[in-house]
Chains A and B, each alone.
Chain A
């Protein structure tokens, strides 16, 4: 019995899956050369600051690279806030048209939605923290800010847009990152978005294609008014070779947590909120659709402009909620079969005590 052959077949399974889904792995950080990203070249950064190539092109920065450490810190901080928005700053550097985020730290302020310049309170903290960091060997400058939108998606609200526009005037290069910790836990993948605003009055030449996400009704106006004032950047992640090695080994320890996680239990409130929001949207959509005799005369002209009707969006949202729920249920059923169907008997085939749907009296 070779226990290690199982881990290699797991690796093979992962590779086949990756192949089938066209996963492009980042530069394989096996050699120490790729750790070069961690090297902070002071003179090159100073020169870049002097050149200011972003002044001519509002769409200059196109990509963001986030380090494993920064991502972990931001997500943990965002989640620890619960339903309260939290914010913090990110440190890093630039590299051509990419902004590289090396580290992040939290700021002791809360609730940015109602305060336009919460950063003013945290200036003292920021200055002290940056100073101590430089002493301890972290040489990078502050290169952006992040905050959380617990449960309502990754986008910039009106206040966020004005804050970011201000930042982009005085603190360039600056990046805005939004994290949704609730959706992260519910969907099982990290919900994160990186944005930069356009300067006042600038009209983007082409409509950027952004991934559709469902926005709750009470926020949808705020989203709609401002969504054309900023664009999102591609986010990729990187880690050092040591990180890679450690994370691989970590898997040996936290596979238990993977198996024992129960997304259904943790996110009951959020799912209930989503469903009630969906119900409201449905009522709204009902008002818009009409199939009266005069409908076809009025409707066709409007139809061509809209890409998707309200009802289509609602269908997509409901599908998303369902998929997440079904995934959660699958984990529960698997655990039930694994741990509850064992009988200390001599039966050759343990009968599964899996639930018989809707037949139990």
Chain B
């Protein structure tokens, strides 16, 4: 599989990945009831198929959502009327999304997949094919999701469409990120004390920084090895690293400093006000208690009822 040369950038939302995984788990567990013997679950799970929808702007293809489709194994094609019905339903709720392609599960793209791919070409002239590998392989550190495009290549003198792999990035909306984080790490769902919240927030940032650190170290190690001559020079990589370093410091202008300080001062002002409110409330309680304890107008008369 060669890599794609179409120049399109792909952005994938985590919702799509969770959707496909859920579809697969559902079909798998329905076909193998839990009362069956565990050892018999070694038979390969049936493949599932579906459609991916999203937005395409110029050269960027952003895949937001997906839904299931019916597959007819005898004709190796997807049920067309079903697809159209589902598309109508989704258009009502998400009017901006178009059909961008289809998805399936499995280890590798197969020949029969090209058939389905071609069938979709009348809806979208360049559909994408998202493949998820449902086999859990703990040694693998990369997401088992690949995106394929189709390209016309001349093989043995015959122009044919073959699948080529494309790279993609994961894109999230803030809300999506928070809920994915929430489910992934099962953070405490209740308010907890301020200390717990602070710990949760800082742990999140801490792990992110650790990742950054480890990635930088890998690069550093690589560059060192290159310098020592253990690895042949690779100029394009060196250019990228150099341009990355030239971008630091990220922003350094008078205006930025001013705005940043203003934001900082705003936040400190808010905390000042909150402390003020807290003190006022405590003082209020104190005054109330003093009034009760040293009641000047008690019925017994006299200046103080309790000493």
Q: Which residues of A contact B (CB under 8 A)?
A: 1, 3-4, 6-7, 9-10, 13-14, 17, 20-21, 23, 25-26, 32-33, 35-36, 38-40, 67-69, 71-73, 75-76, 78-79, 102-103, 105-108, 125, 128-129, 132-133, 135-139, 181, 184-185, 188-190, 211, 235, 237, 239-243, 245-259, 261, 263-264, 266, 275, 282, 289, 291, 293-297, 299-300, 303, 309, 311-312, 314-315, 318-319, 321-323, 325-334, 336, 338-344, 353, 355, 357-358, 360
Contact = CB atoms under 8 A, between A and B. Distances in A.
A250 B297 CA distance: 69
B250 A340 contact: yes
Nearest to B48: A137
A194 to B, nearest CB: 11
B237 interface: no
Given A6-B211, A71-B183, A253-B169, 9 more contacts: A6-B210, A72-B14, A78-B175, A79-B176, A189-B182, A243-B183, A245-B136, A253-B170, A339-B249
A17 B204 CA distance: 11
B267 A329 contact: yes
A207 B278 CA distance: 28
Contacts of A323: 194, 197-198
Contacts of A355: 257, 260-261, 264
B302 interface: no
A10 B184 contact: no
B72 interface: no
B68 A138 contact: yes
Contacts of B281: 309, 311-312, 314-315
A105 B90 CA distance: 10
A7 B21 CA distance: 24
How many B residues touch the partner, as a band?
Answer: 35 or more
A24 B295 CA distance: 50
Nearest to A77: B93
B187 interface: yes
B203 A14 contact: yes
B30 A189 contact: no
A35 B25 contact: yes
Interface of B: 14-15, 17-19, 21-30, 33-34, 38, 41, 48, 67-70, 82, 85-86, 89, 92-94, 134, 136, 138, 140-144, 169-170, 172-192, 194, 196-215, 217-218, 220-221, 248-252, 257, 260-261, 263-265, 267-268, 270-271, 273-274, 277-278, 280-281, 284, 287-288, 291-292, 295-297
A329 B197 contact: no
B214 A185 contact: no
A38 B15 contact: no
23 contacts: A1-B220, A39-B30, A68-B18, A72-B14, A72-B176, A79-B174, A108-B92, A128-B89, A137-B48, A189-B178, A190-B182, A240-B22, A250-B17, A252-B143, A291-B287, A293-B297, A321-B274, A322-B270, A327-B198, A333-B264, A339-B249, A355-B264, A358-B265
Contacts of B86: 132
Contact of B249 (A138, A241, A275, A342): A342
Contacts of B136: 241-242, 245
A190 B212 contact: no
Which 6 pairs of residues, A with B, have the shortest CB-CB distance? Answer: A36-B34, A79-B175, A136-B68, A247-B184, A108-B92, A318-B274
A125 B22 contact: no
Contacts of A75: 175-176, 178-179
B271 to A, nearest CB: 5
Contacts of B70: 135-136
B240 to A, nearest CB: 16
Interface centre among B14, B18, B196 (most CB of A within 10 A): B18
B134 A242 contact: yes
A37 B276 CA distance: 51
A26 B186 contact: yes
A36 B32 CA distance: 10
